[in-house]
Amino acid sequence: MTTAAESASNSAKQAARSRPVKIGARVGIAAYGVTHLLIALLALQVAFGNRGERADQTGAFQSLAQQPFGQVLLWVLVAGFVAVALWSLSQAIWGYAYESDRKKKIEKRAGSAGKALVYVVLAVLAARTAAGGGGGGGGQGATAGVLGLPGGQFIVGAVGIGILVTGVVMVVRGVQKKFLEDMTLPPDRAARAAAVRAGKFGYIAKGITIALIGVLVVIAAVRFRPQEASGLDVALKTLASQPSGPYLLIVVAIGLGAYGVFCFFDARYHRV
């Protein structure tokens, strides 16, 4: 039994580290960049007064589906997201052998597990859109369900705080340029500088938007209003409705676009 288990584990490890999966992972990271660029464009539309479009991942996929060959491109994104999810899962189990610090290795593997989940969700959303289904809009429903449970307010509040902390961590990661730890940048100084600038600005902007979502979830828990706890779309539109909000949203949109550009550098230079 032990030998069979070890053999299965080795086979899974080899498959996850195969060249097709690694290439697919790079495609998936680039697809993540495309998604952020589309979200940035939608956020700009919201900033300039168009509140009808969804400024989130679902809105980005729906926008892409309306373009020529959009459905074909969506299925390409799905394949890339699945590949990067498998690769991230392999990193969570076997990865970061180059990291000598045990604590950092555990943190990186936990981060990879989280990324695998994110890419699975993106793959499902993109596949549903490509197949002609509606986007996921269950954030409010799920929050309402949890709020109805005993201690639901505390659970939702804790989740909101967790999201807020995640956003803050991402901002710190951007300021300290920790995203460079998992990249092998080219010797060309101009390319290195562009990657660093895009990553720093992008991480900070995305961290701010994630933190804003966390704040909205916490507020929903405190006020017992699930309709106030949704995702990126609600967060960006809430920001746009504030005094000087449209101007701040333009900055956030540019930052999300910068993160999308950084993803293209990451797709090329990430250690896979």
pLDDT class of 239 with cuts at 50, 70, 90: confident
Q: Average pLDDT for residues 174-202, to the nearest whole number? A: 87
Higher-confidence residue: 103 or 239?
Answer: 103
Question: What integer pLDDT is reported at residue 176 of this predicted model?
Answer: 92
Q: How many helices (H) and strands (E) does the chain have?
A: 10, 0
pTM value is: 0.73
Q: Which two tokens mark 2? A: 């032990």
**Nearest to residue 35, comparing CAs of 84, 107, 1?**
84
**Backbone torsion region of residue 151, taken as left when φ is above 0, otherwise alpha when ψ lies between -120 and 50, otherwise beta:** left
pLDDT in tens, 58-106: 778 888 888 877 788 888 888 888 888 888 888 888 777 767 778 888 8
Higher-confidence residue: 229 or 127?
Answer: 127
In the block, tokens 């300290």 appear at: 176
**CA 112, CA 124: separation in Å to the nearest integer?**
18
Q: Average pLDDT for residues 188-192, to the nearest whole number? A: 86
**Nearest to residue 116, comparing CAs of 91, 141, 138?**
91
Q: Average pLDDT for residues 170-195, to the nearest whole number? A: 87
Specify whether the CB–CB gap between 176 and 203 falls below 8 A.
no
Long-range contacts from 41-46, C-beta under 8 angstroms, 24+ separation: 41/253, 41/257, 43/236, 43/249, 43/252, 43/253, 43/256, 44/249, 44/250, 44/253, 46/236, 46/237, 46/240, 46/249
Question: What integer pLDDT is reported at residue 164 of this predicted model?
Answer: 87
Q: Which two tokens mark 30? A: 């680039």
SS3 183: strand
Helices 19-47 + 102-130 axis angle, to 10: 70
> Average pLDDT, whole number, for the chain?
78
The answer on pLDDT for 175 being more than 90 is yes
**CA 207, CA 132: separation in Å to the nearest integer?**
31
Q: Which residues contact 111 (CB under 8 A, 6 or more apart)?
A: none
Give me the DSSP letters along 21-49: HHHHHHHHHHHHHHHHHHHHHHHHHHHTT
The answer on pLDDT for 227 being more than 70 is no
Q: Average pLDDT for residues 227-247, to the nearest whole number? A: 70
Question: What integer pLDDT is reported at residue 52 of this predicted model?
Answer: 65
